[in-house]
Each structure stands twice: as C-alpha cells, then as structure tokens.
Amino acid sequence: MTQTPSRPLNIICLATYFKGGDFIRECKRLGCHVVLITKEKMLQEDWPRDCIDNLMAVPNDAGPPLFIDLVAFLAREMKPNRVIALEEFDVMTAGLIREHFCLPGMNSSTARTFRDKLRMAEAARAAGVELPDFVPLIYSTEIAEFIEHVPPPWILKPRSDVSAIGIRKVEHADDVWRIVEELNQRASLRERASYYLLARFVQGEVFHVDSIVNNGHVAFAGANRYGRPPLEVAHVGGAYISRTIAHGSVDEKRLFEINRKLIKGLGLQRGAAHAEFIKSDADGQFYFLEVAARVGGAYIAEVLEAATGLNLWREWAKVEVADAAGRRRQQEQSAGAVAGENADHKGGRASASGKLKPLRKEYAGIVLSLAKQEHPDTSAYDDPEIVFRAKKRHHAGLIVRSKKIERVEELLQDYATRFAEDFVAVVAPLEKAE
C-alpha cells in the first residue's frame, strides 16, 4: 500500500500580549504550520517571525466573534488542528473557538473555571483543596454572615483579572459595604459588585507550582517561593523575587500533592498550569489562592529551565503536537489510510509521553523590577551564577543558578538590595488590565 505524504499540522496561537516565543519555535521545529493571531498593539514586538507562517493582527478591542470569524476565514484554506492561548486573556477566546469548530482542547466552560476566581474557588473546594474562606459580592445576607464570622482583614479580588490587578486589602466592615455601593454605581456593568470576591486574608509566604499536564495527569511540576507576596510588590514596589524550593523537602512534596488534586479537580486535560498557594504563618498549612491555564509570567519559565533544563513552553508544544498528530493518524487509519508521519512528530510524542524528567536538579531564582532607565545596564552584576539577563524596556532582571540553594538565596537578597539603589521604579498598581 502506498504511504501518503506527511502534511504539516496547523497550529493557531492566540497572544494578546507578547509571550510564547518558545512555544512557536518548538511547533515549527516539529514541522507544524504556525499561525499567530495577536492584537495591533503587539504587532511590532519581537515575535519569532522566521517560525511563523502567518502573522495576523486584530483591533485592540476585538472580542471573540471577530477571532472566530478570522479562524473561519483561515479555515477556507487549512483546517486547524489546535488553537492555543499563549496568554491569560486569550484562554476564554480559545475555548469559544474550539467549541465553534468542534476542535480538541479545553472548552469555554472549563476555561471559565480557570479565569473566574469564584468558579475556581468552588471547584477547588469541591476537589478537597484547602483555601481561605470566601464570599461573592452578590447576596447581602451571605456577605453579612461572612463579615460576622470571618475576622478582618479581607482581600477584595476581581473575579476575572490576573496577577495582583484590582486586588486590595479591606480592614473594616463599613468599608466592605461602601465598596459594594461604589462598585454598583460603575458605568460598566462588568465592573459591578457581582464580578468581585471577598476572601479571608492569610498572612504567610506565597509559593507557586508550574506544571505541564498531559491526559489529565501532571507530567512535570516545579515549585518556587516568592521572596515577597506579589500583592505586596504590586502595592509597595521593590524587587520581585522567586526561587526554587528545596528538592525533596516536605513543602515540595505537599505542594505537588495539592497541585495534582487541584489539576484533576478543575478538569485540565492538557497544557500548562500556574498555581499559587500561601503557607499560613498561623497554622503552617498551605491554602490555595488561584490557578491559571498557562505558563507563569515574570520569566518563571526561564527560572525553571535554569534549575531543571526543562522548558515549559517547548514541552507544552510537544504535548499538543503529539496529541494532534496521534488524533490525525487515528482518523486517517479509520478511513483506511496509512498515515505518513514526520520524524520530528515521533520525537515530540516520545518526549511528551508519561512523566517528563528534568535534566538536572539544581536551584535557580530571579530578581526583577521596574527600572527608572529605559534600558538598564546590569553589567556591574557579574557573578558567574548569572545565566539570564532580562531585555525588556524599563525592566531590570537577572536569573541565577547554582547547585546550592543557599548560594541562590544569597545572590537574590544581595541583588534585591542593590536593585533598590540602581534601578527600582514604583508605579501605582493597576485596578484593571489595560
């Protein structure tokens, strides 16, 4: 029987912001036809254009219907095999596109669980994951009961924004009712009180676990601890720090256990996840804060790669391409065809099967801050442990790697102090995403 020639898989990537270059590069290395849809404001960024077959931009205010129509236009010439959201704000749009075209991957209902902090909290609680008490700002009776039984301070969170955007601490019951009233007077209906959540404030250290998920199972996870809670950095300023926690430690084992339970409970089948937890100073327990179906920002992927040799973006691409190739092969075989297969696809499938083993078990960390200078000069920082320097306007950032966790901590603390003098700029935190 004659073997049919291999056809490239068609991967459509959505990126509202500039990220995911390594995902795109890996898809192209694996022989895929790659389309990137971004917004006009991001069109001039340094995308890996040599790995993109079709780069398209939609207006900055474009909503899901326009994305769906654009994919329909593209589908006249090529059938998409995968639609991938490289950025948090594209997760819902990608889910709606998949539903419209009956494509594999996360649907909009599961995507909403990863975007809506209320649905996320409810799903985590149903999965048996511990999290701070919370109440949506919807039912007055429930808000009153929460205020009465959960002592202040509390944290006010938008249900759909990311990072520390729009989050603030509330100290008094009267302030809660005042905020509810103010929110309900806003012109935008999507900024009113029902789109917010109130949660118990937990004092403690904040950790994050970053995962690659395949067939509903965590294939790889790395655990890091923030130097200061992201909320504090956003509101007070100063350097952001994140570093690997001790391999094999009680904290790492416990975080991995909770993370597996969380991923299963929220229904993520394939992709990347970034989950945050806080270890309470009061009782030493870990409490779930939030999770996103994406690779973590602030150079988290680069930190994990420095410590483990494994790149989250590239491994995610391998998982997606391997699954897509396998599905197409099954379809062709079921139709009586013998599917030809690209050798790179074989390599992707092999590396993406089962557990992903890190190439090394070392330690890494990052110090990062907004900078007064447009192009800050970090050449005075010349320790041999430095493996990465951020190249982003008005940002100073260094990643260090060592076999010893103590050396990483020493360098990060020293750099954070020096950054305060050399670079740090402070801007007011965003109340909502730009």
- 160: CATH: 3.30.1490
pLDDT at residue 324 greater than cutoff 80 = yes
User: How open is the CA angle 341-342-343, to the nearest 5 degrees?
Assistant: 115
Q: According to the model, what pLDDT value does residue 424 have? A: 82
Whether 119 is covered by a domain: the verdict is no
The residues that bridge with 34 in the sheet, in sequence order, are: 11
Strand partners of residue 212: 220, 272
Q: What's the pLDDT band for 353 if we cut at 50, 70, 90?
A: very low
Model pTM greater than 0.85? yes
By residue range, what is the domain housing residue 187?
A: 133-200
Q: What are the tens digits of pLDDT across the range 367-399?
A: 999 999 999 999 999 999 999 999 999 999 999
More confident residue, 175 or 332: 175
Decide which of 176, 200, 224 is a domain's last residue.
200
What domain count does the chain have? Answer: 3
Lookup: tokens for 417? 């102090």
Residues 11, 84: contact at Cβ < 8 Å?
A: yes
- Average pLDDT of every residue of the chain: 91
The CA distance from 383 to 389, in Å, is 12
Arithmetic mean of pLDDT, 191-213: 96
- Phi-psi category of 171—alpha, beta or left, where left has phi over 0 and alpha has psi -120 to 50? alpha
284 with 237, same domain: the answer is: yes
Q: Which residues pair with 286 in a beta bridge?
A: 279
What secondary structure letter does DSSP report for 168?
A: E
Question: pLDDT-based confidence at 57, cuts 50/70/90?
Answer: very high
User: What is the Cα–Cα distance from 205 to 278, expressed in whole angstroms?
Assistant: 6
* Mean local confidence (pLDDT), 180-199: 95
**Are residues 258 and 380 located together in one domain of the fold?**
yes
pLDDT (mean) for 388-417: 96
Residues 184 and 288 in one domain: no
What pLDDT score does 4 carry? Answer: 38
Which CATH number do you get for residue 319? Answer: 3.40.50.20
Over range 44-71, report the average pLDDT: 97
For residues 348 and 384, membership in a common domain is answered with: no
- Does a cis peptide bond (omega within 30 degrees of 0) precede residue 153? yes
Please state which of the ranges 97-101, 144-148, 163-167 shows the lowest mean pLDDT.
Answer: 163-167
Q: Could you tell me if 155 and 230 lie in one domain?
A: no
In-domain check, residue 231: yes
Nearest to 89 by CA among 275, 228, 297: 297
Q: Which residues contact 378 (CB under 8 A, 6 or more apart)?
A: 389, 396, 398
For 141-151, the pLDDT digits (tens) are: 999 999 999 99
Q: Say whether both 179 and 295 belong to one domain.
A: no
**192 and 99 within one domain:** no
Clarify whether residues 183 and 296 are in a common domain.
no
